[in-house]
Amino acid sequence: MMQIIFERAGGFMGRKVSLELNLADLPADQARTLKLLVDESNFINLTDPPPKDSAPDGFTYSITVKTETIRHTINASDTNLPDALRPLLDELVKRSRSH
Amino acid sequence: MSHRHSIFCILPPHMLDQVAQSGTPAQREMAARTLATSTQIRDKRVNLSAALTRGSIAAAGTAQRIVYDAKFGTNLPGVVARKEGDAPVADVAVNEAYDGSGATFDLFSVAFGRNSIDNNGMDLKSTVHYSKGYDNAFWDGQQMVYGDGDEDLSESERLFNRFTKSLDVIGHELTHGVTQYEANLVYKNQQGALNESISDIFGSLVKQYERNQTADAADWIIGEGLFTANVNGVGIRSMRAPGTAYNDPVLGKDPQPAHMKDYLTTSQDNGGVHINSGIINHAFYVTAIEIGGYAWAKAGQIWYKALTEKLNSNSNFQNAADLTFLTAGEIFGLGSLEQLAVKTGWTEVGITVDGTPIPPTEGDGCLKGLMKSLGFAR
């Protein structure tokens, strides 16, 4: 079953926010949504975007997707995040900020 | 509280006059130079206080303010929402970005004679409503970008308000632009923390200037108003007391150190640039309080000159200490109250400046120190 590990660092406050999701532990519809977002981003075929000068106070993001056979991580920032990753990122950010 | 140096030790001009007349040639030259410098500084102070009246952006330069709306997307800059000279609009974030960038332009223009971000009339571009649930603001190398905080969460869950709400945040972001065009400090480790601190310093000065506050009346809080009522905190950072801005069950405790002994070595946040900046912030605060009056007039002037003429991309904390001390000596005179205040600021955070201070080391009397400085005593 899929696992998603998310970390957001930097920002004006310099505060790290992280999240670890085991899709097996989530309600089925939520797990399906997340799986779909990962698939639609073509996550496992993405590579880190080319580094850009860090934007002062911008966030940096790290997303890792793990299955029984694959472990893949993408590191990006506010200024170089691939468009394809945006819907997944938005979902992870929202989940990491809810409490 | 550590030892504070006497700030009342000023060389009486009559004594300098006498040295200028009856000392050895080297002593005479030094005394004459000191007298000349004192006169120049007095003149400078008069000029400075005359210049410290409110300016307006239209009168001061060619820079135009443009505020864009990203409409909760991430494409920059977005659509124009208000440009220079336009009347206020219904959107409060747009107006805050407009007014805040104007206030920042004014401080740099009036207090330091700077013409916008690049000192060449560069337009001040801001984008508001960036992304969804974006509890942040940043400088992307060309413009300021602001999120609306936790607008996408239920009210009981919200921790952050919109980031334009805090004037010092706007000043902070714009100052990243100034730094980029000047010292261009690497955004990592000590260089990055110094970069961050410079943005906090001038961001706070923008707010103090706008409120017409002296150093002792200012709150020295960075990000005041960013937290909702759900958070136990007054702001993101405190320059007066780093580490005390918030202490909250969800956000945790403000992690900023106020002293080198608590410097945090970490790989997070580009080496803790938003953490260790507390050390420099506090040094500036102590200096400004020691000098008294409006913090932008003297402490700000020292740091502005250091930023634009002395610091470089690799400057670390020690370099900043040495160079602000040097700069204070250049502007206000060796051994001046202002130069000693800079030294005191750094001492309080555990950094010893590398310079030859006047008055001298502890144990020497005031007079002996002055005699030493003029070469009469060892």
Last residue of a domain, one of B137, B167, B184: B184
DSSP conformation class of B259: S
Asked if B173 is an active-site residue, the reply is yes
**Residues 43-72 in A contacting B (C-alpha not used; CB under 8 Å):** 53-59
Query: If DSSP codes are grouped into helix, strand and coil, which group holds residue B121?
Result: coil
Residue A20 has pLDDT above 50, yes or no: yes
Range with the lowest mean pLDDT among A48-57, B26-35, B270-279?
Answer: B26-35
Q: B143 and B267 in one domain?
A: no
Which residues in chain B are contacts of A62 at CB distance < 8 A? none
The domain of B146 spans 58-184
Per-residue confidence (pLDDT) for residue B18, from 0 to 100: 42
Going by pLDDT thresholds of 50, 70 and 90, the confidence category of residue B91 is very high
Range with the lowest mean pLDDT among A22-26, B16-20, B87-91, B328-332?
Answer: B16-20
Residue A12 has pLDDT above 60, yes or no: yes
Nearest CA in chain A to B131: A90
Long-range (24+ apart) CB contacts under 8 A made by B84-91 are: B84/B57, B84/B58, B85/B58, B91/B128
Q: B11 and B1 in one domain?
A: yes
Q: B99 and B68 in one domain?
A: yes
Q: What whole-number distance in Å separates Cα of residue B224 and Cα of residue B154?
A: 22
Any A CB within 8 A of B140 CB: yes
Per-residue confidence (pLDDT) for residue B38, from 0 to 100: 40
Q: B146 and B7 in one domain?
A: no
Where do the H-state alpha helices sit in chain B? 13-22, 25-51, 57-60, 92-112, 167-181, 189-211, 269-291, 299-305, 317-332, 337-348, 366-373
Q: B206 and B66 in one domain?
A: no
Could you give the angle at the alpha carbon of B253 between the alpha carbons of B251 and B259, nearest 5°?
145
Per-residue confidence (pLDDT) for residue B16, from 0 to 100: 40
Work out whether strand B65-69 and strand A59-66 pair parallel, antiparallel, or are unpaired.
unpaired
CB contact under 8 A, A97 and B136: no
Instruction: Give me the sheet containing B144-146, strands edge to edge.
Output: B79-83, B65-69, B124-128, B144-146, B137-139
Q: What whole-number distance in Å separates Cα of residue B376 and Cα of residue A87?
A: 74
Please state the rounded mean pLDDT for residues A15-36.
96
Residue B131 has pLDDT above 50, yes or no: yes
Per-residue confidence (pLDDT) for residue A97, from 0 to 100: 86
Q: B62 and B165 in one domain?
A: yes
pLDDT, tens digit (0-9, with 9 covering 90-100), for B175-222:
999 999 999 999 999 999 999 999 999 999 999 999 999 999 999 999
Q: B151 and B139 in one domain?
A: yes
Query: If DSSP codes are grouped into helix, strand and coil, which group holds residue B180?
Result: helix
Last residue of a domain, one of B184, B218, B245: B184
Range with the lowest mean pLDDT among B88-97, B237-246, B360-369?
Answer: B360-369
Q: B64 and B34 in one domain?
A: no
CATH of the domain at B122: 3.10.170.10
Could you tell me if B173 and B144 are in contact, meaning their C-beta atoms sit under 8 angstroms apart?
Answer: yes
Per-residue confidence (pLDDT) for residue B14, from 0 to 100: 37
CB contact under 8 A, A98 and B153: yes
- Encoded tokens for B233: 């905190």
Any B CB within 8 A of A19 CB: no
Amino acid (one-letter) located at B249:
P
Nearest CA in chain A to B245: A13
pLDDT, tens digit (0-9, with 9 covering 90-100), for B4-24:
333 223 333 333 444 444 444
> How close B268 comes to chain A (CA, Å)?
7
Q: B291 and B247 in one domain?
A: yes
Any B CB within 8 A of A86 CB: yes
Q: B331 and B195 in one domain?
A: yes
CATH of the domain at B30: 1.10.390.10
CB contact under 8 A, B133 and A97: yes
pLDDT, tens digit (0-9, with 9 covering 90-100), for A40-91:
999 999 999 988 776 999 999 999 999 999 999 999 999 999 999 999 999 9
Query: If DSSP codes are grouped into helix, strand and coil, which group holds residue B220?
Result: coil
Give this complex's ipTM: 0.94
pLDDT, tens digit (0-9, with 9 covering 90-100), for B34-76:
444 343 333 333 333 333 333 445 444 579 999 999 999 999 9
Looking at the partner chain, which of A15, A57, A99 has a beta carbon nearest the beta carbon of B139?
A57
Contacts of B295 (CB under 8 A, 6+ apart): B204, B205, B208, B214, B215, B218, B288
Share of chain B above pLDDT 90, in %: 77
Closest listed residue to residue B171, CA positions, set B94, B236, B108: B108
Number of residues assigned to chain A: 99
DSSP conformation class of B246: B
Any B CB within 8 A of A29 CB: no
Last residue of a domain, one of B143, B169, B184: B184
Which residues in chain B are contacts of A12 at CB distance < 8 A? 136-138, 163, 169, 172, 223, 236, 274
Query: If DSSP codes are grouped into helix, strand and coil, which group holds residue A17?
Result: strand
Average pLDDT, chain B: 85
Q: What whole-number distance in Å separates Cα of residue B199 and Cα of residue B149?
A: 20
Q: B206 and B164 in one domain?
A: no
Closest listed residue to residue B193, CA positions, set B289, B287, B137, B275: B275
- Encoded tokens for B137: 């603001």
Could you tell me if B231 and B248 are in contact, meaning their C-beta atoms sit under 8 angstroms apart?
Answer: yes
Looking at the partner chain, which of B140, B251, B272 has a beta carbon nearest the beta carbon of A79?
B140
Q: B194 and B176 in one domain?
A: no
The total number of structural domains in chain B stands at 2
Q: Say how many C-beta atoms besides its own lie within 10 A of residue B96's C-beta.
A: 22
Per-residue confidence (pLDDT) for residue B355, from 0 to 100: 64
